[in-house]
A and B are shown apart, each in its own frame.
Chain A
């Protein structure tokens, strides 16, 4: 009955009928859409206070326009350069050091045939992913504590003076990046392991017949098989270089390391919600700038990836 009517109608009528036919699906979607508008798109509308001098008395639409004044203030601020530099250094250091390690781990795990060994290694390397950021940073403080930490005990055993890495601004970036790798390398390897399991076994069999050893098979079969996924993930993380693992940076900050540990997101938070004079407009302007540059960056790296390798996110 329905399908009979379906065939007869055309054009706009057909479209309307298709919408009406699925009205219950739109009812299902209503609540999620309402949520999306309120909690995700209303803030985008509110971001216009970046161009105003927001005061609670006047509200979002009532506050006076100030053009780009808030942005100019950030560009001229002495904080501008260090905050941008810290963000980029921390991001690219994480990216460059953290990108190849899960791939190597996956390639290596993929070679293991002993199931017990393989699943134990997987289980153990995934585990730190499930530890919360607060606990990870707490562990860092304890592990590297100059008096009660593991490094202190070790130094004592070796009759050396214990290092105080957590208090050393020069060590901040290394600790941040390598503890991140420690925490995530196992879990990040999952995707690569999944891709490796889809590599056609016939390729490996043919390579074995041709006399290729394991290293050569990794080099000529496994790695090319991983490339598309690796490219997509690289694009995604390059597009997010302005974000950094902000929650962790904030926890690791101390008055000593602030010179290298203040990043865009922590600065936005402090200006907006922590400083004695809360400056919503200024904070929003910095955040908006970061958001727009980040979006442009994501589009740019994606286009570059598409042109260079035929792999892209969209």
Chain B
């Protein structure tokens, strides 16, 4: 009887793993197809960016460079506007992120303290802005009335605190800093400022890393709309606005193409330039992201706990 059962369960196991093995093969195939779909456009762009203008305009590029050439990149590197945009984006991202992270941390710590009177109300006041806002024009009017239009401040000050980022930071403080620790610091005679500086900030390093990435990539480096409405002066344009002019509006300095007389070749270079520009614009984030990916994932996970 006992041997019978184990025999049966063995059969069961064999059947089960056969079903599972087919499932796992299907699963691997599915994930491979998804991966290929994600990669295909990226590979095409990179391949085209290293091809010759003639091959690009003739539509001969698929997934490998045709008539290898660096002409697109050379032309980009001579384009002052692109570099100016790069420098501006770096500036906005650097100072903007410092401002965002600072504001978020000093808001989140008090709001994470259970003994703070009014914390629910104030937290709600922040969260509410996620659900309702004054709208585009009224916000524009505030920025205008503060005299920030067409200044670098317009790219930094209005971004302030992202409600989602504030939430994950509050959650982080609540779950990693035990109230006893704060109480202990108080008993040792530390003021709240002192506790914040000497106890909280050193413990906040992981969340600061997460916030830095979220703000730098999502709020600053990759956005264009703020710049579109608040900036008029070309000298202040961040990279994304320059990219929009070239990639979307198809406006390229004629001087960039002046050496080329043949109309077709000129058209080819115009397109080639775009491919190279896409690569150049995406490379900084693409290089950094594999190393910091886990921080993003961590941030999303703290967010999902909420």
Chain A residues proximal to chain B, CB less than 8 Å: 2, 15, 18-19, 22, 24-29, 31-33, 35-36, 38-47, 49, 60, 105, 108-109, 111-112, 117, 120-121, 123-128, 130-135, 137-139, 141-143, 145, 147-150, 152-154, 156-157, 162, 182, 185-187, 190-191, 194-195, 211, 213-215, 229, 239, 246-247, 250-251, 265, 268-269, 272-273, 280, 283-284, 287-288, 290-292, 294-295, 298
Contacts of B157 in A (CB 8 A): 35, 39
Q: How many residues of B contact A (CB 8 A)?
A: 95
Contacts of A280 in B (CB 8 A): 137, 141
Other than the known A35-B157, A194-B301, what 11 A-B pairs have Cβ atoms closer than 8 Å? A26-B110, A32-B103, A36-B125, A49-B137, A123-B293, A130-B285, A134-B248, A138-B274, A142-B45, A156-B59, A272-B136
Question: Is the contact region of chain B dominated by helix, strand, or loop, or is it mixed?
Answer: helix
A239 lies within 8 A of B297 (CB): no
Asked if B31 is an interface residue, CB under 8 A from chain A, the answer is yes
Binary per-residue interface labels of chain B (10-49) against chain A in the complex, 1 for a CB within 8 Å, 0 otherwise: 0010001001100110011011001101111110110010
| Most chain B beta-carbon contacts within 10 A, residue among A125, A132, A145 | A132
Choose, from B203-211, B218-226, B254-262, the stretch at the interface. B218-226
Assuming A22-B192, A141-B248, is B132 touching A294 (CB within 8 A)? yes
Q: What 4 A-B pairs come out closest when comparing CB atoms? A: A43-B134, A138-B247, A287-B135, A32-B107
13 A-B residue contacts at CB 8 Å? A25-B192, A32-B161, A36-B126, A36-B129, A47-B135, A49-B138, A132-B281, A134-B248, A135-B247, A141-B248, A214-B24, A215-B23, A298-B131
Complexed CA–CA distance, A92 and B186 (Å)? 53
Asked if B275 is an interface residue, CB under 8 A from chain A, the answer is yes
Minimum C-beta distance from B290 to chain A (A)? 6
A18 lies within 8 A of B115 (CB): yes
Complexed CA–CA distance, A112 and B116 (Å)? 46
Assuming A131-B282, A134-B240, A148-B271, is B20 touching A214 (CB within 8 A)? yes
A39 lies within 8 A of B158 (CB): yes
B141 lies within 8 A of A182 (CB): no
Select one of B134, B243, B278 contacting A44, CB under 8 A: B134
Contacts of B304 in A (CB 8 A): 191, 194-195, 229
Minimum C-beta distance from B293 to chain A (A)? 6
Contacts of B73 in A (CB 8 A): none
Complexed CA–CA distance, A108 and B24 (Å)? 9
Complexed CA–CA distance, A214 and B107 (Å)? 46
Minimum C-beta distance from B35 to chain A (A)? 5
Complexed CA–CA distance, A44 and B137 (Å)? 10
Contacts of A250 in B (CB 8 A): 225
Binary per-residue interface labels of chain B (133-145) against chain A in the complex, 1 for a CB within 8 Å, 0 otherwise: 1111111111000
Closest Cβ neighbor of B249 among chain A residues: A251
B142 lies within 8 A of A42 (CB): yes
Asked if B70 is an interface residue, CB under 8 A from chain A, the answer is no
Assuming A213-B23, A298-B131, is B137 touching A141 (CB within 8 A)? no
Closest Cβ neighbor of B18 among chain A residues: A213
Asked if B168 is an interface residue, CB under 8 A from chain A, the answer is no
A137 lies within 8 A of B285 (CB): no
B131 lies within 8 A of A213 (CB): no
Complexed CA–CA distance, A157 and B60 (Å)? 9
Asked if B56 is an interface residue, CB under 8 A from chain A, the answer is yes
Minimum C-beta distance from B173 to chain A (A)? 12
Complexed CA–CA distance, A11 and B282 (Å)? 59
Select one of B191, B224, B300 contacting A133, CB under 8 A: B224
Assuming A123-B293, A147-B59, is B109 touching A28 (CB within 8 A)? yes
Complexed CA–CA distance, A211 and B10 (Å)? 11
Complexed CA–CA distance, A230 and B223 (Å)? 28
| Most chain B beta-carbon contacts within 10 A, residue among A142, A148, A265 | A148
Complexed CA–CA distance, A39 and B296 (Å)? 27
Complexed CA–CA distance, A298 and B132 (Å)? 10
